[in-house]
Amino acid sequence: MADVVKIATRESYGNALAECGKDFPNLVVLDADLAGATKTGIFKKAFPERHIDCGIAECNMTGIAAGLSTCGKIPFISSFAMFAAGRNFEQVRNSIGYPHLNVKIGATHAGITVGEDGATHQCNEDIALMRAVPGMTVIVPSDDVEAKAAVRAAIEYEGPVYLRFGRAAVPVINDRPDYKFEMGKGVLLKEGTDVTIVATGICVDSALKAADMLKEDGISAEVINIHTIKPLDEDLIVKSAGKTKKVVTVEEHSVIGGLGSAVCDALSAKCPVPVKKLGMQDIFGESGSASALVEKYRLDGKGVYEDVKAFLNK
């Protein structure tokens, strides 16, 4: 097997912005003193006049983006998820969400794979926060290919979009000729009959690995990649749940309010089946390497495999 290519989705974000800069002259990128980390520095290098560093003032950056968008710009605001969605929540809600302005929020360093910086910077609540804002689209790409496609799709879409990227390099899993990104459409990656694993972001790779391990035990797992958490592809999930009758969700996020909750919302109304939510179990993270944390919090292939098995054996 060839070596797996690994790229951090924040890197994809910066590259996609720079690529789209040529095609979209109204695209402007705002940062809050993190251009090196969020990778908007790549865009800055290509289009310095369209990169606006707001200093360490995320709330003001959000308002500036709102004002820019009313004048026809397509602003991306960039910061760590903790600040882009957390510190900023009310600005996003009132200055962007309520007037439904065409502002995109590029949140990097989401989840526990921030790693060594520890819990203060590991945002496991952003999906919940952003999902609750009326009219907000929420996208969590699983790899480089998807992240780049998502950035372009967000630009082409008129309205507020929250995009969630990670710090750590993750395997490229969507590098196939027929890959197509469609906002709001889930991707059926593996067909199965015994259990449905719905995953998002970096956990899609873990779900695929878990499905391979389950197969060796004679368990047929269906794997769905939900890159758009809102609007959720309910049809795909309901259809799969109707077939397998058991659903496991996996996300690098709190099990409160994220993908797992979104899936439960849909299934409780349309196809009530047992659901196991894997993710951060209502706890804060801690310092450590990204891989050590993913292993400890059972979001790697092995952890997901074991938890799915335990769920099925109940």
Partner 1 sequence: MANEVRKGIVTAVHGAKAGHPGGSLSAADIFTYLYFEEMNIDPKDPKKADRDRFVLSKGHTAPGLYSVLANRGYFPVADLPTLRHLGSYLQGHPCMQETPGVDMSSGSLGQGISAAVGMALAGKMDNKDYRVYTLLGDGEIQEGQVWEASMFAGHRKLDNLVVIVDNNGLQIDGKIDDVCSPYPIDKKFEAFNFHVINIDGNDFDQIRAAFKEARTTKGMPTAIIAKTVKGKGVSYMENNAGWHGKAPNDDEYKIAMDDLEKIAKELGGAN
Among 19, 47, 86, 94, binds partner 1 (CB under 8 A): 94
Q: Give 68 or 168: the residue with its C-beta nearer to partner 1.
A: 68
Q: Pick the binder of partner 1 from 90, 116, 182, 265 (CB under 8 A).
A: 90
Residues belonging to the active site = 58
The correct pick among 72, 134, 177, 218 for binding partner 1 (CB under 8 A) is 72
In the complex with partner 1, the residue whose CB is nearer, 60 or 287, is 60
Q: Residues 3-32 vs partner 1: string with x where CB under 8 A? A: -------------------------x----
Burial environment of residue 123 by CB neighbours within 10 A (0 to 12, 13 to 18, 19 or more): buried
CB 228 within 8 Å of CB 177: no
- Distance (Å, rounded) from C-alpha 228 to C-alpha 238? 16
Q: Judged by CB, which is closer to partner 1: 28, or 138?
A: 28
How far apart CA 136 and CA 184 sit, in angstroms, is 12
Pairing of strands 6-8, 169-171: antiparallel
Give the residue, chosen from 5, 36, 45, 55, that forms a contact with partner 1 under the rule CB under 8 A. Answer: 55
Q: Does 99 bind partner 1 (CB under 8 A)?
A: yes
The verdict on 135 binding partner 1 (CB under 8 A) reads no
| Minimum CB distance to partner 1 smaller for 54 or for 161 | 54
CB of 52 to partner 1, least distance (A): 7
Nearest approach, Cβ of 83 to partner 1 (angstroms)?
Answer: 13
In whole angstroms, the minimum distance from the beta carbon of 99 to partner 1 comes to 4
Question: Which window, 60-68, 120-128, 177-185, 223-231, contacts partner 1 (CB under 8 A)?
Answer: 60-68
Does the footprint of partner 1 cover residue 65 (CB under 8 A)? Answer: yes
What is the end-to-end Cα distance of the chain in Å, rounded? 36
Query: Count residues contacting partner 1 (CB under 8 A)?
Result: 30
Write the DSSP assignment of 294-311 as a string of letters. HHHTT-SHHHHHHHHHHH
Distances (CA, A) of 241 to 172, 221, 280: 27, 11, 23
- What token pair was written down for 251? 């996300």
Is residue 67 a contact residue for partner 1 (CB under 8 A)? Answer: yes
Closest CB 152 distance from partner 1, rounded Å: 22
Q: What is the Cα–Cα distance from 109 to 169, expressed in whole angstroms?
A: 11
239 φ/ψ angles, rounded to the nearest 5 degrees: -60, -45
Q: Tell me which amino acid residue 46 is.
A: A
Q: Does 136 bind partner 1 (CB under 8 A)?
A: no
Helix orientation angle between 203-216 and 301-313, rounded to the nearest 10 degrees: 60
Residue 68 binds to partner 1 (criterion: CB under 8 A): yes
For residues 13 and 9, give the distance between their C-alpha atoms in angstroms, rounded to a whole number.
Answer: 6
Q: Which residues bind partner 1 (CB under 8 A)?
A: 28, 49-50, 52, 54-55, 57, 59-73, 75, 90-91, 94-95, 98-100
